[in-house]
Amino acid sequence: DAGVIQSPRHEVTEMGQEVTLRCKPISGHNSLFWYRQTMMRGLELLIYFNNNVPIDDSGMPEDRFSAKMPNASFSTLKIQPSEPRDSAVYFCASSSGTSGRVDTQYFGPGTRLTVL
């Protein structure tokens, strides 16, 4: 099993540019999560999907952030326009659970984003 795959692993961009982060969940998992990790705020859940449908996006910081899951094997997190305060490590995680059940979330290696 390849685990959760994220790309790119590192991204450096300039303020105002569009950034797209990608995630491939573990095959057969039906829940997908996007997290952001910073020194100041720790680990925050941004959004999660179940069966490709966004269930809770209350953690998305503002309209500059958007996430999609067009199929069971792919998700994107887009920031447009990017700002220096978006600099963080973004993690994708997947699980085989559904609402009401507790299943282990498996994390990808993360994308380290730096916005200059």
| Residues in a beta bridge with 20 | 78
Q: How many residues bind another protein (CB under 8 A)?
A: 27
Task: By CB under 8 A, tell whether 48 contacts another protein.
Answer: yes
Minimal distance in Å, beta carbon 95 to another protein? Answer: 7
Check residue 105 for interaction with another protein (CB under 8 A): yes
Contact with another protein (CB under 8 A) among 19, 33, 34, 82: 33
Residue 28, class by beta-carbon neighbours within 10 Å (0-12 exposed, 13-18 middle, 19+ buried)? exposed
Among 18, 23, 30, which residue's Cα sits nearest to residue 7?
Answer: 23
For 85, list phi and psi in degrees, rounded to 5. Answer: -70, -5
100 is an interface residue for another protein by CB under 8 A:
yes
Question: With contact defined as beta carbons under 8 Å apart, do 72 and 4 qualify?
Answer: no
Interface with another protein by CB under 8 A: which residues?
A: 4, 31, 33, 42-43, 45, 48, 50, 55-56, 91, 93, 95, 97-110
